[in-house]
């Protein structure tokens, strides 16, 4: 049996190993695969693994040996799951592996926005503290989280993890989810009015999936509801935000800042409107990429393949 990994580099740039997967069959591992290389590299594979390399209907229909597609991520929109189902091909994903890491990145952005640690540290490196007539200085408002309200949009595993950390910081948590949760943790107030989140929260953090209903959920109308002292954080999916509208709001002082780990186009074009927006801090989609999270990802991906080979597939997204 042939197992092909189309884009293994981001999941494992060399600090982990593929031995457990290689024990299951003959493996061909590619660091990156361009669209033109998908079919030549995937031919003959029974098992195909991908992270961000797109598998369209035309690919799936041209691979007669293919029986299984494993997505090395939680989101699986890179695979035409319906086309795979028509061919009887199982598609799986890896849910939950990055919960703690994404929650941590949410607060990395929030702490940077409220204390501007990187900016102040750079000023010290530049020699400003050594030249200062005072024992301390600060260039931006320093904001305490205790007592502020955190609005969480999307209350799944990651949203709940963010809520726990917000409560530990002394924040009040207001949450919204399209599906009412069966159980609400102590210290969390659920609302059915999304506008209330945008109107009342001091910090809004996005943790909902990207669907036709949530695309551009953060638009000009909702941004206008936000306090000018509020912060927006997105570690979920880039297209949840109308990015030109956010750039306009930041430029006009409509909100205090934004921390983003995702954009609608990745990598972004040089003229992306948010790259030069004031008080906008962007990281290159790394919330999921801690060593611990990637190790869990690979372990789970191997278990998904092993379960499929045993005739008991798990984490199937196209039943």
| Least confident window among 50-59, 112-121, 183-192, 297-306 | 183-192
Mean pLDDT for 112-116 is: 97
Separation CA 291–CA 231 (nearest Å): 28
CB 211 within 8 A of CB 205: no
Q: How many angstroms separate the Cα of 184 from the Cα of each of 128, 156, 163, 175, 209?
A: 48, 11, 11, 10, 20
pLDDT at 53: 97
Separation CA 101–CA 80 (nearest Å): 28
Determine the CATH number of domain 99-282: 3.40.50.720
User: What is the average pLDDT value for the chain, to the nearest integer?
Assistant: 96
Domains 2-97+291-309 and 99-282 share a fold: yes
Assign domain 2-97+291-309 to its CATH superfamily. Answer: NAD(P)-binding Rossmann-like Domain (3.40.50.720)
Residue matched to tokens 């061919």: 87
Percent of the chain with pLDDT over 90: 95
Extents of the domains making up the chain? 2-97+291-309, 99-282
pLDDT at 181: 79
Q: What is the DSSP letter of 96?
A: S
Mean pLDDT for 156-176 is: 97
pLDDT at 183: 84
What is the SS3 assignment for 47?
A: strand
Helix (H) or strand (E) holding 296, with range, is: helix 291-309
pLDDT at 278: 97
Separation CA 102–CA 282 (nearest Å): 14
178 pLDDT tier (thresholds 50, 70, 90): confident
pLDDT at 220: 97
Q: 47: which 2 tokens? A: 């098992």
| Geometric angle at alpha carbon 96, from 34 and 309, rounded to 5° | 65
Separation CA 188–CA 106 (nearest Å): 18
CA proximity to 73, closest of 288, 267, 279, 287: 288
**Residue 164, phi-psi category: left (phi > 0), alpha (psi -120 to 50), beta (remainder):** alpha
Which residues belong to the active site? 237, 266, 285
Task: Give tens-digit pLDDT for 220-229.
Answer: 999 999 999 9
Whether 182 has a pLDDT exceeding 80, the answer reads: no
170 pLDDT tier (thresholds 50, 70, 90): very high
Mean pLDDT for 138-167 is: 97
pLDDT at 130: 98
176 pLDDT tier (thresholds 50, 70, 90): very high
Whether 27 has a pLDDT exceeding 80, the answer reads: yes
pLDDT at 124: 97
Whether 180 has a pLDDT exceeding 80, the answer reads: no
């Amino acid at each position: 049996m042939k197992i092909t990994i189309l884009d293994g580099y981001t999941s494992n740039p060399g600090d982990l190993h593929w031995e457990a997967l290689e024990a299951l069959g003959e493996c061909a591992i590619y660091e990156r695969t361009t669209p033109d290389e998908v079919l030549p590299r995937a031919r003959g594979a029974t098992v195909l693994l991908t992270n961000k390399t797109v598998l369209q209907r035309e690919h799936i229909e041209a691979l007669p040996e293919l029986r299984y597609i494993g997505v090395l991520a939680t989101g699986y929109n890179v695979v035409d799951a319906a086309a795979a189902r028509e061919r009887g091909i199982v598609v799986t994903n890896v849910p939950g592996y990055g919960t703690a890491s994404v929650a941590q990145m949410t607060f990395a952005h929030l702490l940077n926005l409220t204390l501007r640690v990187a900016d102040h540290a750079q000023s010290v490196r530049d020699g400003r503290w050594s030249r200062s007539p005072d024992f301390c200085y600060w260039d931006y408002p320093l904001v305490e989280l205790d007592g502020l309200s955190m609005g969480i949009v999307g209350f799944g595993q990651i949203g709940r993890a963010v809520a726990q950390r917000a409560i530990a910081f002394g924040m009040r948590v207001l949450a919204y989810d399209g599906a009412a949760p069966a159980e609400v943790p102590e210290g969390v107030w659920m609302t059915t009015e999304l506008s209330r989140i945008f109107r009342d929260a001091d910090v809004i953090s996005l943790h909902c999936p990207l669907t036709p209903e949530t695309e551009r959920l953060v638009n000009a109308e909702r941004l206008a509801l936000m306090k000018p002292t509020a912060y927006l954080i997105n570690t979920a999916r880039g297209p949840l935000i109308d990015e030109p509208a956010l750039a306009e709001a930041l430029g006009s002082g409509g909100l205090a800042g934004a921390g983003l780990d995702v954009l609608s186009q990745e990598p972004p074009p040089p003229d992306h409107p948010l790259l030069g927006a004031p008080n906008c801090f962007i990281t290159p989609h790394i919330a999921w990429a801690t060593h611990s999270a990637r190790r869990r990802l690979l372990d789970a991906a191997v278990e998904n393949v092993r379960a499929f080979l045993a005739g008991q597939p798990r984490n199937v997204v196209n039943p």
